[in-house]
């Protein structure tokens, strides 16, 4: 099974650039074309939040148009730059048997495609850039996963529930860590948490699970491990993760960058005769 994992698209309104600098709509177009060209084709795509710059309806409409070009089913969760009330239009991208938490227009849901379970969680909070898992979400997770205790399961949410050495996002914090940790303890089938938020490809262990944060749409964080400089980004080629759940039950992650390359060339030299 193959899963394309995008994050932090930061789509601005049509004709505008994110932060006045980056044409993120073009970057997303390039990613979509790249994903659609993969052989074998991914089974589905995940987008782990900050789909828009500010949650405005025109940003959501453009994001829906671009993500709608994916040749594979697409599932999304909000980030701190999104607004659930406008992003709800993107639930129309979801396909198959999707079990939503029923409390209001939410992005907590389970998708069972027989091979694995995928659980989307809305970690955004209206009044803070930080993440949160509430008691209601944790209780819902316990109920919805009761029949899948040992089924391979992947959680995807915007905020990583662990500090990654990034000043701004570490300060943003994550409320309800004990609730999420309790869910992980109860369900050994949960393999990994897929996140975004920090605009860097990273992997960190938390509660005996790997937390993977995806690269962004070309707004890569300028990493400052002195934790003293203000938050900044550099414009790069867009990137995404390709997660491969193998027939042997291993989860392998490749970092895919959308840029021009030369090759492929064989490792062995080809001898020619005059």
Is the Cβ–Cβ distance between 175 and 130 less than 8 Å?
yes
Per residue in 77-111, pLDDT (tens digit) is 999 999 999 999 999 999 988 999 987 778 999 99
Residue with tokens 């599932």: 75
- Which residue(s) pair with 125 in the sheet? 128
Q: DSSP letters of 109-145?
A: EEEE-SS-EEEE----BTTBSSEE--HHHHHHHHHHT
pTM for this predicted structure: 0.93
User: Rounded mean pLDDT of 241-264?
Assistant: 93
Q: What is the pLDDT of residue 167?
A: 83
Q: Assess contact for 158 and 49: CB atoms under 8 A.
A: yes
Residue that is written with structure tokens 């500090």 in the block? 163
**Could you give all domains of the chain from N- to C-terminal order, each with its CATH number?**
2-257 (3.60.21.10)
139-173 pLDDT tens trace:
999 999 998 888 999 999 999 999 998 888 888 89
Helix (H, G, I), strand (E, B) or coil at 185: helix
Band the pLDDT of 117: cuts 50, 70, 90: very high
* Rounded-to-integer distance, Cα 48 and Cα 156, Å: 7
Q: What is the pLDDT of residue 274?
A: 54
Evaluate whether 80 touches 195 at the Cβ level (below 8 Å): no
Mean local confidence (pLDDT), 232-258: 95
Pick the closest to residue 159 from 103, 225, 81 (CA basis): 81
Of all residues in the chain, the percent with pLDDT exceeding 90 is 79
Q: Give the whole-angstrom CA distance, residue 123 versus residue 143.
A: 18
Residue 273 has pLDDT above 70, yes or no: no
168, 205, 222, 228, 231 from 225: Cα distances, Å: 12, 18, 10, 8, 11
| pLDDT higher at 155 or 274 | 155
pLDDT at 264: 87
Give me the count of residues in the chain: 274
pLDDT tens per residue across span 33-48: 999 999 999 999 999 9
């Amino acid at each position: 099974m193959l899963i394309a994992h995008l994050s932090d698209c930061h789509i601005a309104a049509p004709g505008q650039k994110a932060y006045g600098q980056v044409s993120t709509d073009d970057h997303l177009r390039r990613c979509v074309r790249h994903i659609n060209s993969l052989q074998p084709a991914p089974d589905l795509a995940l987008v782990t939040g900050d789909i828009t710059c500010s949650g405005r309806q025109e940003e959501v409409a453009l994001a829906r148009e671009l993500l709608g070009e994916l040749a594979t089913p697409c599932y999304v969760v909000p980030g701190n730059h999104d607004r659930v009330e406008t992003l709800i239009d993107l639930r129309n991208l979801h396909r198959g048997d999707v079990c939503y938490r029923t409390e209001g227009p939410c992005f907590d849901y389970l998708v069972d495609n027989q091979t694995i379970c995928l659980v989307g969680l809305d970690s955004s909070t209206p009044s803070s850039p930080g993440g949160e898992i509430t008691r209601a979400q944790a209780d819902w997770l316990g109920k919805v996963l009761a029949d899948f205790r040992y089924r391979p399961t992947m959680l995807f949410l915007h905020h990583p529930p662990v500090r990654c050495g990034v000043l701004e996002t570490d300060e943003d914090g994550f409320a309800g860590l004990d609730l999420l940790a309790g869910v992980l303890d109860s369900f050994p089938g949960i393999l990994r948490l897929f996140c975004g938020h920090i605009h860097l490809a990273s992997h960190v262990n938390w509660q005996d699970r790997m937390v993977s944060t995806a690269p962004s749409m070309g707004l890569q964080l300028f990493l400052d491990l002195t934790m003293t400089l203000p938050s900044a980004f550099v414009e790069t080629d867009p990137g995404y993760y390709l997660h491969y759940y193998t027939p042997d039950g291993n989860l392998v992650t490749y970092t895919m960058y959308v840029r021009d390359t030369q090759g492929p060339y064989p490792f062995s030299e080809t001898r020619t005769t005059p």
